[in-house]
Structure 1
Amino acid sequence: MRTGTEAAEAAAVDISALVRRLRLYQAPPSPYDGVALTPPSAAAAAAAGGEEEEMFRTRRAAVLVCLFRGRGGDGELRVILTKRSSSLSTHSGEVALPGGKAEEGDADDAATALREAKEEIGLDPSLVTVVASLEHFLSKHLLVVVPIVGILSDIEAFKPVLNVDEVDEIFDVPLEMFLKDENRTSEEREKMGQTFTIHYFNYEKENQKYLIWGLTARILIHAASVVYQRPPDFPERRVQFNLPKF
């Protein structure tokens, strides 16, 4: 049986191996690069001076899939989630990953995700090791969302400071739960002539119940599949929408 020190050392070794492996991960080409997410009017096109790339960037977002080792003896990988403020105009009260829209000063998608995580939950970017950029997703508001995987090696150093205008709660869940069929329900929906599955995961912690669904669930299923190198125990039925190019 391992001692506490041995378990901690094993977890550190595992994290180092995970970091090395995820840094080699190559996401497939995004099907949404260069698409006309909001067809520009003639006036808008003229105002933009033909800078189509900048018009596209305004419809881009990034979220942080922040992983850390749990405090339990098994040292399971856990992911940080938030419950959005009930006063927000969109997705109020829903569970989400830290993140948001790209801004002009962001160097890349990782910078967007880290900036938003600091603004929303007070996560110091220096505590996070960015290891991978995952496959791009399209939100129902036609935002191209880029998941950025980061490793938080010292969870004790993270002292959450919530932006109450945006976040009501912060909590964490086991990443592997998004590959299991336990506490999961689903429904079929149709969009743009294609049928796809919406997944719902129920999670309870300290008498608090959370529902993780929609885009957040889709991203976490994919992230868990990449991290654990296996598909989920249930049919995923994802779809990529064919959108018009510029």
Structure 2
Amino acid sequence: AAGVKHGVVQDKLFLPGLLKLRRLIEGGFFGQVLSVRGEFGYWVFEGDGQPAQRPSWNYRAQDGGGIVTDMFPHWEYLLHELFGRVRTVQALTRTHIGRRWDEEGKPYEATADDAAYGIFELEGGAVAQINSSWTVRVHRDELVEFQVDGTHGSAVAGLRSCRIQHRAATPRPVWDPDLPSADRFRAQWQEVPDDGPVENGFKAQWELFLRHVVRDEPWRWDLLAGARGVQLAALGLRSCAEGRRLPVPEVTL
């Protein structure tokens, strides 16, 4: 209202793997999107043997820590921008590791959630399931991956890579637990090529903001978009506390 140009960082949208995923969506590759499954996380050491890879305040709720507060705002804008507005959220959080060691080697009680398991209903009917954890050992190609399944095709996108399987190339596996499978499922997917050099995500968005400030070019990543992410994190924590699915109101001025 005051005419001040403002914005928030949504850097994950500008990563190579997610740019490829957007390209597929805009090209109609998926047909109707049915579901999105996300896996994010890695093992953050407790700090007693090996140093923790994250600061100790991340694990203290009283200091603003917690993986929901950290990651749900990212999931909100990724889902919103790529697939549609989040309409409902149901989340279960856990503090799996209750004792950690800080930067000075002193033990402390971990009071913040270090893992969150979320289900998000999206506008249009698609369902997203995203697991976020600092207590998981990685058995995937990247620290975060999203599998998108649609009527015409599927994709698995990470930070940098994106692999696809079209309906016409989808194999026909048969369930038989008594025989070893001859299928090599990963080999049946096709890599999406790069379509040119990709800048650092923060740099790419910063340049867009400067063009907005100087040339008044379009800009949609404003403080209202940031508020949507904060709202989803708050609703995720409330959903866990109340043990129920919650509607996500549309954020407006």
| Pairwise same-fold verdict (TM > 0.5) | no
Q: Which has the larger radius of gyration?
A: 2
Q: For this structure pair, what is the TM-score category when the shorter chain's length is used for normalisation?
A: under 0.3
Of structures 1 and 2, the one scoring higher in RCO (CA 8 A, sep 6+) is 2
Structure with higher strand content: 1
